[in-house]
Every structure is written in C-alpha cells, then in structure tokens.
Structure 1
Amino acid sequence: MKSYIHTNSMSMLEDGSRFFTGINEVIYKNIEASFFLKDIISNSFGPEGMNKMILSEYEKIMITNNTVDILKNINVNHPISKLMLFFSLNQELDLGDSGGFVVIFGTELLKSSYCLLKDGFHISDIINNFIKAGKLTLKFLETLAIFRLADITNIKVVASLLSLTMNQTNQGLESYLAPQIAYACIKTLLHNKKNFSNSDIRVVKILGGSYEQIKTITGSVILRDTEGTIKKTKKANIVIFSGVFDLTSPETKSSILFKTAEDIMSCQSSENFFIEQIVKDLINCGINVIIANGFSDISLYFIEKYNIMALKIQSRFDLRRIARTCGAMVLGKIRKPNLEEMGKCDFVSVRSFGSQKVTIFQQETLQSKIFTIVARASSTHLLDFIEKTVFRSASVFKTIVRDNRFLAGAGASEIEMLRRLKSFSYEKTSGVQQFIIQKFAEAFESIPRTLIENSGQDPFKILSFLYNEHSKGNEYEGVDIQKSTTINTRRNGIWDSFACKYWAIKHSIEASTTILTVDQIIMAKKSLPDY
C-alpha cells in the first residue's frame, strides 16, 4: 500500500539543529573533509618533509615537521577530520611512529572509495571488500618481516634503528642523540625487562652550548643548587619531606604573653632545641641528605652545623622522581624515618652546566630505575625538539621490545604489498571484488609517491623504476631520496618497525571504513554561553 505520509526529520529536532543525509550531502562531504588533514601532513612526511610554522592559542611559535606537534596544534571543527585526527594521535601515542602514515593512507583509501562510488559501486560492497583486503594485507605483511633484532642490548644497532625514526630537521643531531637514547633505554630495560616504561627516560633542558654536549646521567637531575655549603655527598642516605622542614604550626590559633625578655629568649631556645633534636634524630638514622619543600632559617643553621646536605624542591613531580631514583618514600610529617622510608644514592653533587647549577642524584650501578638525558642547545626551540625526539624514540624502543621484527623501509614494503594484492585480485577474485581490491591496493602508492615528491624528484620516473624492480622479485628496492633512482633497503639498513606499520595499516582501514559507514549527520543546536 502506498504511503502518503510525508516524514520530515527536521520537524522532530529543536530549532537551530541541522540534519544531513544521503551520499552527496554526507559521504562525499566527509571524504572531502578528510583531505584537509592530508594536505597539511603530506608535504611534511618523510626525512625530506618541509617544516610548518604554527602559532598556538597561547601565541607560542612552533616550527616543526613532526606529525604529532602539527595535529595537536590545529583546531579542527569537522567531526570526520577529528576522527582521523584521533586515530593518528593514538598511533603516535601508543607506538611512537607512523602517525602521518595513518592520515595519508587512510585518506587515500577514502579517495579510492570516492572514485568507486562515482562509478556506481554500492557502499556496503566497498566497505566489505576493504575489510577483506585489509586482512590480506596484514597476512602479506607477516611474510615481508624478514629482519629480526637478535640482541636488543646492542647499543650500536639500536641507535641506528632509532635514528631512522628521527626527523632530519637538524642534520647531524641524530648521530649524537640516538646513541644516548639507546644507552638509556637499554640500561633501563635491564632493570625491568617485563614492563619497560618510556616515562623512566627523563629530559632536562639547559639553554646554552650545543647538542654535541648532550649527556646521559644514571639517575635524576634537578635544576637547582643546594641550600647550604655542602655540595657533595657520597653514599647518601636520603629522607624526603613533602612539607617545609620546620616545627609544625598548631591547628588552632593561640596567643602567648611575654612579660620579660627572658621569656622571649626561653621560648626561642625551646624552639631551637626541638629543631636541633629533630636534626640529631635524623643523624642517628644515618641521614646526610634532607629534601623538603622549604627550610626555615633556624633549621638551615642546624643542618649546616651537622654537615647535612639540604635541597629545596617545590615540584611534586621532581620529588616523586628523586624518590623513585633513590628508593625513598615521601613523608608528610617531619619525623624520624624507618629503614624502608629512607633512600640511598651512590653520589649526590652540585655541578655547573654553563651558568646553570644542577643537583645530580647519580647511581653508580648501571641498573638504575631512571636515566636522565641532559639536553644542551643554543635555542629553546631546539631544546623542545630534542625533548620530543627523546620521548618519541623511547616509545619506538618500547615497540621494538614488544615486537623485534622489521620491514623494508623507504616505500619498499608498500610497493610490494601493492604488487601482491593486485596479483591476488587477478588470480583469486573476479568482478566487483577484483575491482575494489585493486583500488584498495593502489592506495599504497601514496606513501612512496609522497616520499619522492618531498625529495624534489620526478614521481613517475622513480615509481616506474620501483614497479620494474619489484616485478623482477627485488622486494627490498625503495626510494632513494638523495638520487633519482632506487635503493636496496636491506643492504643499506633502512627499516620500518613491523608493529608500527601493522597498526598504522589497521588504524587507517578502521578510520576509513568508519567514515564510510556514516550516512547521516545530526548537529545539535549550539548552547549559548552562561553569563
């Protein structure tokens, strides 16, 4: 029976709401919105990528080609762009690499689906075959992982692998920074092989000097001088207080009436006696380093009198860092600590880096819980770049610990997967499925093409060389960014982490198929601000 009832979705929504439906209004617009992120990221992708100058909402200028920094500092309003942004940032946060791959490859899949929709293919056929092609890709990826890192404790090999993931913005920096990061990560791993945490690798930034003066300290570094004249202590027994080292104030207000000068002197002498008694109790426990949120003048007098090192730290993060380094507990009250609450450190000293004095808590044992990389540079921009590179490389090392397999880099694995997917579609499929899988495979060409374009070379020429070499069985041939030719990645040690590439492909497929499943967008009325 024919229905004459006209349904209007807008009649059910509040005034000011917006409703979009259909392929032209929703799916095509969503695909076009995802191109925005790719246009920003693509020319910063790879070792020859260009920098972006970003002015943050706090009017801080940032010059970088790092995917995370770019994506974090752009305000995106479109929900589809936010979705792609979410997958990319999660990739970088979890694995430390291939966030740009997620945006470029995911957008290229959407571009392929756009062409398929224009040719009349149904959206459900595209999604189902994309998912099937994704599963085939991950199977092929397993067979391409031909290199395994046999010895994770080899500093030279690990440093060379970490340097491949570093941005080449500052030429020569990776040769100094990568060995320092590799050393810190490996020594931290030896202490805790099952649960390596990249948060155990700390960075202290000191302005001045050059990145050739970067050092790795076994322990923690605090950007502060000690309070007294004691600057060095060996075999330190440490107590940490979260409050001010002084007599605790009473909870209720009270007034004291002094009648004579002797009453004032006796009151002051009694306070001095109690503070001196606290210091003596700490000495009897073997304490020779006191760390607190602050010190009163009289407490510093007695601490200096009994040759105890005093360090004032007001940051609770630094207190926790030192407590973890020395194995101490942070005490809330000024009292005599137990043996379990005391910390031990082999050497505590004050040292100067240029004009900056720092206090170093150094452990002589190589199996320290925390390592600190002292970054030196002539500008704050370069210091920030070094800090982000350290954290990113530590995340990549964590990924290598979980999965030590590697793929051919420089676009070689992408071209090989493209070739294998197309061969599979010709041999095992036909009709609609064959055409969609071929379109899916062609999206892999975007990665080597972007590398070639960013290096200033002819993409048609280099891609033809790559296809020719891979058709001959040379599956390790990748893009040579220095010359207008191909390069054997296996012979030259150019690798991509298998885990990073595996999850990047998975996230790209999930992002693109999720976007394609959206056929309606309902935007609620914007709420007015409360005044």
Structure 2
Amino acid sequence: MSRSLNYNQAAGLQGMLKEGSKSLEGVDEAVIRNIEAAKQMAGICSSSMGPNGLKKLVVNHLEKIIVTSDCATILKELEVQHPAAKMLVMAAMMQEKECGDATNFTVSFAGELLKKAEDLLHKGLHTSEIVAGYRVAFDKAMEILPTLTTHTVQDPRDAQQVIRVLESVLGTKYFGYEGTLAPYVAQACQAVMPPAPRKPSLNVDSVRVCKLMGGTIGDSLVMKGVVVSRNTEGTIKRALKAKVAVFGCGIEASSTETKGTVLIRNAEELLNYNKGEEKLMEDIIKSIADSGVQVLVTGGSISEMALHFLERYKLMVVKIQSKWELRRLCGAVNATALVRLGAPTPEEAGFVDRAEVREVGGRKVTVFEQEAEESRVASIILRASTQNVLEDLERAVDDGVNTVKVLCQDGRFLPGAGAVEIELARRIAKLADASTGLDQYAMRKFAEALEVVPRTLAESSGQEATDTVTALYAEHEKGKLGVGVDAEGAGVGDKGVLDSLAVKDSALRLAVDAALTVLRVDQIIMSKPAGGPKPPSGGGGDED
C-alpha cells in the first residue's frame, strides 16, 4: 500500500510532503524562531511610540518614499512574509480598523509578552503554564481597567470636551501642534453629527481631508461639504440649489464597439458629417440641461466640442479623476454615477445646496456644500510645506476622527503617558506574589511586559528608562494614578494626558490574543512555493 502511494516511511514527515516543503518543530526550531520574528517586528514599531517617537523612512515597491511614525502605515508598507510576524500585523490592522489608534501599543506589547515568554521557556517552564499565567493576568487587567477611569466626556457635541481629548491623541503624532490641529478635527466632526435630541454618532467617511501644499499647519481650515482640489473646466463657477449629474464616463463623442470606415467623397459630405456630430452632442447636452441639471461631474475627459455646448447652456462642469473621490461625491450629493452620456432620471440625479469655486492659499478649489442633515459632509483643508508632512498630518487627523467616533460610543478615558500601564503592572505583580502555582512566573512577566510603554516613552524623550519606571512605581504606590512620563524630558508628572478606555481595552485584547497564538504554535510546515525558481540576487529581476 505504501509503495503504491509512493510513501517512503524512512523519510518521516518529509516523505509525506511535496518535494521542497519545509517542517520546523520543537521549542528551539519553531517557538523560539517565531518569538524572534515577533520581537524584530515589535522592535521596528516600538521606537516610534509616543510624542517623541522616531519616524521611519520606508521606500515601497513603487519606490514611493514614506516618512512616518504611524505604526499601521509602516506595517502596511513592509509586506511582512514571516507567518508569526504576520499575526502581529493582523492584530494591528484589526485595531486600526476597529479603533483607528493604539496600533503601536498592540504590536509593542505583544512583542514584549513573547520576549518575556522566551526567558521563561529557557528557564524550563512549559508553554501551557506560560499561557495559563498570561490568561489569568489578562483577566485581572480587564477587571482593573474600568476602575482606573479618570475622565468622562459627557457630551460629544461640546467642543471643549472633545478638544481636550483630541490633544492627547494628536500629540502622539505631531507633538507641539496638537493645540492647532485639535480644534479643526473637533469642528469637522461636530459639523457632521446628527443634531440633538438624536444620539451623537459619527461616520468616519463623512470627514474628508483635502491636502494643499504651501503655507503652515496654522493656515488649515474646515469647510462644510466636499472639497475638490481643482477648478471647474468652464467659466461657470457657482450654482445654488442645483441638481447634480455624475458621469463615470467622459463627456465626449462615444466611439463605436467595432472598427468602421466612413467614405467621404466631397467637401459637402465632410461638412454634413461634422454637423451631424455637433448636432448629436448638442442634443445630449440640451437634454441634460432640460432635465434641470446645473452641475455636471465627470470622471473622464471632456472634449472641446462638449465644453462649447456646456458653456452655451450655462452648465457648471467639474472633472474628478479619482474614482474613489467620485464615489464619495456621489454619496454626498446622493447621486448615481452614470456610465451613459445623457439626461439622468430623477432617481439618478443628485442635489447640492451650493457648488462654487473658492480660492485657498492662491489655489482654486471647488466646494460642494450641503445643509441637509442626512447628507452632512465636512472637509479639513490641510496646509503644509511638503507632501510627506501633508500625508502624515492626514494620518494624524484620521486617528483623531476615529477617536471621536469611539467616544461617541464610550466617553470614558484613562490616564495616559504610561500611567495606566504602570498601575496595571503594579497590581498584577501583587497578584503574582499572592499566587502559589507555576503560573505566578508568567503573571510577573506579564506585569513586566506592561512596562514597555513607560520605558519606551522615557527613552524617546532622553531619560533613563529604569529610573523613570522606578519613579512611576513610587508615585503610584502613593495613590497618584494620573502620574505618567513627562514627554518633555522632565521626569514624571500628571500632564493631563488621556487614553480612551475602549481603545486600550481593544488593544490589550488583540495584543494578548496575538501573543498567545504565536506561543501555542509548536510546528511550522511550509509547502513548496508556487512558480519557477527565483532569479539570482544579482540579476536585477523582480520578485513577487
């Protein structure tokens, strides 16, 4: 039977797998290798944590240069291949999707848990004992976390309450500019919230960002509606209470599906042919104007002949090249993007209260402003000197908007700057001291792993990490729960920094789940990769 299946019993597992497959097992080959990969991943991200975190310069496969300290962006561009490191990346991506913040904490804490687990494995503890200890410590942390709440946002529609919270979030991205950016984000978010007495809520897609190079961060502004960063195509620059037609195709004479030849024998036939084409285009534009449409938006090109008739019938025309931006505009004006050129039906046409061209910093932009409650959109026009700074500002604004979305659901906040991590570590260490089983060692390591946040914050601000952590423990023993690391390098203190309880809860859960998943793996089996042999490293060939 084994001979008929071509199975060599002497070859063991390799005899069962396809030629070229790899199998790694045991503590040294599988577990420790996975932990090493996760530690390397955490090491990349942890130095970017906090307001003084260092930025990474990433050149992606398209040779685009990205300079950022945003963990989610770094991980997206790295294209990680190692399966264990991918676990941490997936946890960070889920945290970004759910909360939009604390991705760096998720990766750093998971990596630190695995680093501490490696020490326990070398000392002889079994993986199951480490997992059990981590699980007990995690349950205790989840029990303690809500009791550490120091601040609650009662009304998300109160600008001052929201700004105070946003300053802590934006300060980790652009330290020193949080006081400038926070009012813009708060104003944009509150402009799109449903009015009272409806419950405050926020759709993240309702807050758009328009990046205009030039000027400084202080020159940024907020506009109600969608802002398109280009001028109109014609001379019509303004329309009020107007119907909007959106075309996914270009406004030009359509080409035929099949190739054809037109035989023209004399000049009269040539003139008639041109007149027929002009008449057809005029009929199309006239039918659009007769349907009551005043504003046309297209995702394709506009021919000169079409532009001539659009001007004749006083239609405002905007060209949007990005299909994503076109889709967002459709949602804002409640229109359907048409793939045919012609008059839209009443269901397909959208509506805008005001569409006009405005000048911002010497550049023309087109604003589609809505006053209707169900189609509220706000745009933050960001100004900065370089494209890299603008893109990093956009990521900071995105984190701020997601924070407002979370606080609409849960307004409780914890002390930040490493204060909550030290308090959790202190209480879990006491729990470990009171325990008698082998899992007490894992619980103690869980408490030590929580120190990664204050240690990193202290190192990035130029302080001695051990002295700072010791000082934090001393302050928390006195009952000062709000004391954290001073980002300005002045030791420890209560600077009023806040972290969202919901965000911290989610980050802790995902980090622990990722770490325990990696720890439980005792064997790695990799099948032979598809495709032919890879080109030599010096050959200049591209790898998939």
TM-score w.r.t. length of structure 2: 0.88
Residue identity (%): 35
Give the corresponding residue for 2:369.
362
Unaligned runs of 5+ in 2: 1-8, 535-544
Q: Distance in 2 between matches of 1:301 and 1:483?
A: 64
Mapped to 1, the partners of 2:48 and 2:142 lie a distance apart of 26
Which amino acid in the other structure matches residue 416 of structure 1? E
Higher alpha-carbon deviation: 262-271 or 449-458 = 262-271
Match of 2:503 in 1: 500
Q: Secondary structure at the match of 1:49?
A: coil
Deviation of 1:242 after TM superposition, in Å, equals: 2.4
Distance 1:371 1:262 in 2: 55
Distance 1:525 1:275, change over 3 A: closer
**Matched residue, 1:510:** 513
- Equivalent residue, structure 2, for 1:311: 318
Number of the residue aligned with 2:6: none
Rounded Cα–Cα distance in structure 2 between residues aligned with 1:279 and 1:62: 44
Matched to 1:54, the amino acid is: V
Of residues 387, 400, 413, the one that matches 1:406 is: 413
Query: Cα offset for 1:248?
Result: 4.8
**Matched residue SS, 2:293:** coil
Which amino acid is the alignment partner of residue 501 of structure 2? F
Between stretches 266-275 and 353-362, larger displacement belongs to: 266-275
Distance change >3 Å, CA 48–CA 530, structure 1 → 2: closer
Q: Deviations over 1:495-522 (max 9, x none)?
A: 1111111111111111111111111122
Q: How much has 1:269 moved relative to structure 2?
A: 4.2
Counterpart-to-counterpart distance in 2, 1:452 and 1:263 = 83
Pair 105,314 (structure 1): closer, same or farther in 2 beyond 3 Å: closer
Residue 193 of structure 2: SS of its match in structure 1? helix
Hey, what does 1:179 align to over in structure 2? Answer: 183
Q: Secondary structure at the match of 2:116?
A: helix
**Structure 2 match to 1:447:** 453
Asked if residue 457 in structure 1 is aligned to residue 463 in structure 2, the reply is yes
Look up the match of 1:154: 158
Distance 1:441 1:470 in 2: 15
Query: Is there any run of 5+ residues in structure 1 with no aligned partner, and where?
Result: none
Partner AA of 1:373 in structure 2: I
Q: Write the distance in 2 (CA, Å) between the matches of 1:351 and 1:334.
A: 28
8 Å Cα contact 1:65-1:167 kept in structure 2: no
Partner letter of residue 372 of structure 1? S
- Three-state SS of the structure 1 residue aligned to 2:226 is strand
The answer to whether the Cα contact below 8 Å between 2:201 and 2:408 also exists between their aligned partners in 1 is: no
Residue of structure 2 in register with 1:67 after alignment? 71
2:351 corresponds to 1:347? no
Q: Which residue identity is paired with 2:303?
A: S
Structure 2: which amino acid aligns with 1:390?
V
Q: Which residue matches 2:540?
A: none
Q: Name the CA distance, whole Å, in 1 between partners of 2:102 and 2:297.
A: 42
1:335 pairs with 2:338: no
Q: Does 1:220 align with 2:226?
A: yes
CA-based RMSD: 2.7
Q: Find the counterpart in structure 2 of residue 130 from structure 1.
A: 134
Distance in 2 (alpha carbons) for counterparts of 1:255 and 1:13: 61
Spell out structure 1 runs of 4+ moving beyond 6 A. Answer: none
In 1, Cα distance between the equivalents of 2:18 and 2:253?
63
- Describe the SS at the equivalent of 1:239: strand
Cα deviation, residue 148, structure 1: 1.8
CA-CA distance at 1:214 after TM superposition:
1.0
Aligned ranges 1:57-136 → 2 under 5 Å: 57-136=61-140
C-alpha deviation, 1:151, in angstroms: 0.6
Q: Secondary structure at the match of 1:90?
A: helix
- SS state of the match for residue 170, structure 2? coil
Secondary structure at the counterpart of residue 189 of structure 2: helix
Equivalents in 2 of 1:239, 1:279: separation in Å?
Answer: 12
State the match for 2:541 in structure 1. none
Give the paired residue count.
Answer: 523
Worse-matched range after superposition: 186-195 or 435-444: 186-195
Displacement of 1:246: 4.5
1:47 Cα deviation (Å)?
A: 1.1
Deviations 1:69-91 (A, max 9, x none): 32223353432222222212322
